[in-house]
Each structure stands twice: as C-alpha cells, then as structure tokens.
Chains A and B, each alone.
Chain A
C-alpha cells in the first residue's frame, strides 16, 4: 500500500526542490546556455554563408581574370598580325620607291648621255667643219699657186653662177 500511496511530505519537498532548482537554473544556467547555443549556431551559420559568398566571389574573380587574360591574348595576336602587316607594307613601299628612284636616275642618266652625245656630235661637226675648211684651204692654196688653175676655177665658178 505504501508503494502507491502518495506521501504529503515527500510531495511537498519534491515541489519545493523542483521549483528552486527550476528557478535557479532558469536564471543562471538555461538562459545563458540556450542563448550561447543560439549565438554559436548563428555564428556558424554566418561563417558558412560568408565562406559560400567568398567562394562565389572567388569563382567570379577567376572568370573575370580568365576573360581578361583571353582578351589580352587576342589583343596580342592582333598586334603581332598588325605589326607583320605594317612591316610588309613598309618593305613593299620601300622597294617600290627604290625602284622608282632607280628608274628616275637611270632615265636622267640616259638623258644626260643623249645630251652629251648630241653635244659631242655637234662639237665633232664643228671640228669636222673647221678641219674641212683648213684642209680645203690647204688644198686650195696648193692648187691656186698655178694661174691657169685659178682661171679654170674662176671659169667653172662663173659657169655655176650663170646656171643658177
């Protein structure tokens, strides 16, 4: 019977003990514990979120840097290509110019040569003329030393005039 008959004294002390333990622990244990656990939970959650964010940011940065690098590569290739083209152009132009210059020089030379030739020929002509006159003089002097020959020449010359 004792086993299932509640005893007032024990019941009373049980309630007193439990209430005291409850009130003390509520103030000095459960509140700080629950708060600390929640704080820690939040802290961990924030930490994980931040890590996730940082990871995403890192991925973004990587994509960006990849983009920049590939852009730079394309630019480099373009620059090289352009440089090659410019070089080609310059050489072609230079060659053309040189050819033209050479042509001009050759032409000028040809012209000069022609002029020189003409001048030489003219000089030669003049020289030949004077030489012929001298020769003719000398011949004439020799031939005109005789009177008869003079007369004959006179005659022939007179004849020619008459004919004219």
Chain B
C-alpha cells in the first residue's frame, strides 16, 4: 500500500468519522483513482520516503496530537505533509530577534538563520540554536522562544471567539438592560447567571463577590471555550490548549494572584499564626506556617494539574479509540473495517463525555478559585 496510513488519520480528523468508511474503500481499491487536489493550505510539501516502511505508532500519533508544534499539521496525503506554517519568534543575544515562518524549517529537516528544531534530546521538537552542521546535537541551547505555536494560535482563536461573543452580548445588555435576552445572548445568559449565582456568590460571601466577577467569568469561559474548541478537530480548532501544562500553569498563576493579592489580615494571620494551634507547632520550628505556606502554592498548582490531566486524558482516550482502527487495519483491512465501527462508537461516546468534562473542569476550576478567594477575603470568625 503506497497510500500512507497517514491519509486515514488526516481524513479522520479533518473530515470526521462519517466519511471514513468511504475513504477506506477507495484506498483498498484503485489507488490511482484517488485524486489529490491541491489543498488550500498547501504551503509546504515534503515527501516522506520512509512512510511505508514505518509501522503505525499509536503513541507517537497521540502525543503528536496533544503536544504543541511550530506548524499546524492538517493531514498527510501520499506521504506529503500538509500543514499551516505559523510564525516563529526567537531571540538570542548573538542573533537578536528573528521572526520567520515555521515552514523554513521544512518539518525539522532544515536549519534556518542558525536555528533548527531539535530531533532528539531534552529539547526534542523545540527550536534550538544550531551548532554547526550537526542536526542531532541533543544538547543544543534554547533561544528565548515566543513563537506563535499551534497552541498559542488555537488560544488566540479561542480568545477571538470569546471577544466576539461577549462583546456582542455586552453591547446588547448595554443597549437595553431590561429587555429579555435574544439570540446568542439567551444562550450565554444562563451560563453567566450560573457562574454568578451558583459558583461565585455562595463561595465568596457577602457583597465581596462583585469585585471578582470579571476575573472569574473570564476564567470560566476561557477554560470552557478552550475545552470545547479542543474537541473540534478542524483547523483552527482542535489545539489541545487547556490540556497543556503551560496554559494551565498560567491560569493557576492568575488564580494564585487573585487569591493572594486579595488576602486580608485574617488570611495572612491564618497562614503565619494559625489560631487554635498549640505554640510548639509554631516555635521554635514553624511547622504550621511552613505547611500553610506550602498550601498557598499547592492550591493553585493542583488546579493546574487537574485541568491539564483531565483534558489531556480525554484527548488521549479519544485518540486511543481512533488509533485502534489503524492498529486493526494493519492486521487486515477487514479487521480495520470491523474495528472502525466499534472505535467510532466508542469515540462518539467519549466525545460526549468530553463535552461534559469540558464544562465540569471549567466549573471546578472556577469554583475552587472562588472558594480560595472566599477564604482569603473572609472576615475573622
């Protein structure tokens, strides 16, 4: 089979499972009848000669999807990679600021302006400063890398969607606050009210919650919309943004700042001089303050890990079911057919579950942040 298996994974995620069976029958039949029309995103083409000899690696495939990348891989046809190049922004003291498209790297095959993508070592898959002609130097140093990667781009898109939705809604609220909600407004109003009345208000008592509403609403919808967009496998959606530890750590940092910058006297007293605790736990060895201080950092850190793990796990499971098709298909095409029914069924089930998880994780992150803020601004008891 000259037609690469990559075709299938590409079609699967670009066109969706419904078209899958038809494409496979084409592949099983006459390969010449397959018309490769120039794709609109065909900006960079590379012929992968080794593709037929390499067996399908589900692990690589899955981690390729959930990881970050310098270009947005769309699909492969006949060993050619079709991807959207994204801007690379790197800075080193020697070379200064360099901005160019990731297509210059030729999928990691080329060095450009003294930079290349490491193929091995601790920085595998990242841009490193090229040392000589050796493409496989595992210990090449990293420049300051502010590239618009796949996840950054996906996040920009989510941010754009958020702005488009909420600025529109905000305008209609501003125009006539007493009017009943209409259109997209009535879709989001229950969610906004849910966040306000069922998450923030009970968690942050009194009238203090209002100060935190803008942040918590942004947090909730940022997580939720990124989660949802991550489930749609069509460019420019489908980046695993909230399943990336950098993003969740960033969110946790905002949560950490929101909690600790709003902490009042009682909050800090509770940390450094916890009431109702025997003195020998505080002096001479400050066991309690140390534990409390560690807690200050672990609370948001756990938020980051929870969101990252849940979303990544969801993506891995979904992808796992779809890779089953290719694993079965390698045994025999008929087995692949049979397996696809099962895999698509499970895939649909998991995707529905992920829709729920997307909302639940946004809810949990917002709720816990609200509770921590609530504890930080609480008056002494």
Contact = CB atoms under 8 A, between A and B. Distances in A.
Interface of A: 1-15, 17-18, 20-22, 24-26, 28-37, 39-40, 43
B27 interface: no
Given A14-B246, A18-B222, A22-B218, A37 B166 contact: no
Contacts of A40: 177-178
A127 to B, nearest CB: 124
A10 B173 contact: no
Interface string B150-174: 0110011001001100110111011
Contacts of B89: 9
Among A15, A18, A25, A34, chain B packs the most CB atoms within 10 A around the CB of A25
Among A4, A7, A32, chain B packs the most CB atoms within 10 A around the CB of A7
B99 to A, nearest CB: 13
Contacts of A9: 89, 145-147, 149, 152
B122 interface: yes
Interface of B: 63, 66-68, 89, 122, 124-126, 144-149, 151-152, 155-156, 159, 162-163, 166-167, 169-171, 173-174, 177-178, 189, 192-193, 196, 210, 213-215, 217-218, 222, 244-247, 249-251, 253-254, 312
A6 B251 CA distance: 13
Contacts of B312: 3
A47 to B, nearest CB: 10
Contacts of B149: 7, 9-10
18 contacts: A2-B125, A3-B312, A7-B126, A7-B145, A7-B149, A9-B89, A9-B146, A10-B68, A10-B152, A12-B146, A14-B246, A21-B162, A24-B167, A25-B162, A25-B163, A25-B218, A30-B214, A33-B170
Contacts of A39: 177-178
Contacts of B174: 32, 36
A126 B146 CA distance: 170
B148 A13 contact: yes
Given A7-B149, A31-B214, 8 more contacts: A8-B246, A10-B244, A13-B146, A14-B246, A17-B152, A24-B163, A32-B174, A36-B177
Given A2-B125, A11-B249, A18 B218 contact: yes
Nearest to A35: B177
Contacts of A24: 163, 167
Among A1, A7, A33, chain B packs the most CB atoms within 10 A around the CB of A33
Contacts of A17: 152, 155-156, 159
Given A3-B63, A21-B159, A43-B178, A33 B192 contact: yes
A25 B151 CA distance: 22
A4 B170 contact: no
Given A3-B67, A9-B147, A33-B170, A14 B155 contact: yes
A48 to B, nearest CB: 15
A4 to B, nearest CB: 5
B120 to A, nearest CB: 12
Contacts of B222: 18, 21
Among B145, B155, B173, B213, chain A packs the most CB atoms within 10 A around the CB of B173
Contacts of B170: 25, 28-33
A6 B167 CA distance: 31
A18 B156 CA distance: 9
Nearest to A34: B213
A18 to B, nearest CB: 6
B173 A36 contact: yes
